[in-house]
Amino acid sequence: MQYIPVRYIEPVFRPPSEANSLILQVTNGCSWNKCTYCDMYTQPQKRFSVKPEEDVLREIEWFSQRYSGIKRVFLADGDVIALPARRLLFILDTIRQYLPEVTRISSYCSPRNVTRKSDEELKALYDAGLRQVYVGAESGDDFVLKSINKGETHQSTVDSLNRLADAGIKRSVMIINGVGGTRFSEQHALNSALLANRTQPEFLAALVLNLPHGEARFQQGYNGQFIKMNQHERFLEMRQFVNALELKSTIFRSDHASNQLVLKGTLGKDKERLLQEIDLAIEHPDEAQLRPEWIRPF
């Protein structure tokens, strides 16, 4: 049997748009791992760890010997940018050396990962091939962020997103529809829109809150004040969010597996059309092309 020197610690997650990328797992789990809605890395084998440099080198070498034409690489897991700049640069340089056709390297990234890097380091990462990061902002509202134990504030997220932009690194920002519940929906929608307006990300996505393992931990963060939204209420929140967006050129998507209402467009030019589609879902859900509830994986 052929020896394959590539080791993935499952489960491994990647954004939908990285479906055709080589997934290179250089860290395992998430160094924060405290967000109350997130169960991605809670299994014992997903405790945060860093893959030794020599293993990363061997894996890249192995891929280069067997595959040609690899254009995109996604660095997993949850927050690779937590690694020191020197280590990241080693990985990026090695990818470029062994896989010269790669044009885009991307990863998930928490705002705090950016806070700990200097502007020069961010620029060096861009120059070495890091072209895009996926930032789960989740909300732009400080109360909501505190309640879900995100470990970030509106301002820390804005600062990091803007510093990434200054370095040339594209930002794909995610917001969670329904994460504030009915009680905090308005402030979540408006402050999340404000966060997007202040950072003008290249990509913006709205996912729907899912708590596959129950509400207990999540509810604790809200001191029992969280009231789950139904579909109609989530559409109303989405309307308020999109209506408050003032974006110049951002690709907007709500087409994650969790979304019943699929929206796609470029903001600002498609804002009116998107609002009309949301209005249809609010007023005539039977006429809107909603994904049936059973199709959603959660």
**C-alpha span between 60 and 66 (Å, rounded):** 10
Give DSSP secondary structure letters for 86-103: HHHHHHHHHHHHH-TT--
| Interface residue with ligand SF4, options 18, 32, 83, 192 (CB under 6 A) | 32
Q: Which stretch binds ligand SF4 (CB under 6 A): 17-25, 29-37, 153-161, 214-222?
A: 29-37
Near ligand SF4 in 252-291, by CB under 6 A? none
In this structure, are residues 217 and 36 in contact, taking their beta carbons and an 8 Å threshold?
yes
Classify 142 as helix, strand or coil.
Answer: helix
Q: Which stretch binds ligand SF4 (CB under 6 A): 33-41, 48-56, 254-262, 288-296?
A: 33-41
Backbone angles phi, psi at 232, to 5 degrees: -60, -45
Q: Is 111 in the site for ligand SF4 (CB under 6 A)?
A: no
Q: Is 33 in the site for ligand SF4 (CB under 6 A)?
A: yes
| Interface residue with ligand SF4, options 30, 133, 161, 206 (CB under 6 A) | 30
Residue 150 CB, shortest distance to ligand SF4, in Å, is: 7
Q: Which stretch binds ligand SF4 (CB under 6 A): 32-40, 123-131, 179-187, 200-208?
A: 32-40
Size of the site for ligand SF4 (CB under 6 A): 12
Near ligand SF4 in 130-189, by CB under 6 A? 136
Q: Which stretch binds ligand SF4 (CB under 6 A): 16-24, 28-36, 122-130, 186-194?
A: 28-36
Residue 43 CB, shortest distance to ligand SF4, in Å, is: 13
What mask of x and - would describe binding to ligand SF4 in positions 35 to 64, judged by CB under 6 A?
x--x-xx-----------------------
Please identify, using beta-carbon distances, which residue of 59 and 79 lies nearer to ligand SF4. Answer: 79
Q: Is 110 in the site for ligand SF4 (CB under 6 A)?
A: yes
Near ligand SF4 in 80-99, by CB under 6 A? none
**C-alpha span between 169 and 230 (Å, rounded):** 36
**C-alpha span between 81 and 87 (Å, rounded):** 10
In this structure, are residues 277 and 261 in contact, taking their beta carbons and an 8 Å threshold?
yes
Long-range contact set of residues 89-95: C-beta below 8 Å, sequence gap at least 24: 89/124, 89/125, 89/128, 90/53, 91/24, 91/26, 91/56, 92/125, 92/128, 92/129, 92/130, 93/128, 94/56, 94/57, 94/60, 95/24, 95/60, 95/129
Q: Which stretch binds ligand SF4 (CB under 6 A): 30-38, 65-73, 195-203, 250-258?
A: 30-38
**C-alpha span between 180 and 187 (Å, rounded):** 8
Q: Which residues of 130-151 are buried (b: 16+ CB within 10 A; e: fewer)?
A: bebbbbbbbbbbbebbebbbbe
Residues contributing to the site for ligand SF4 (CB under 6 A): 30, 32-35, 38, 40-41, 78-79, 110, 136
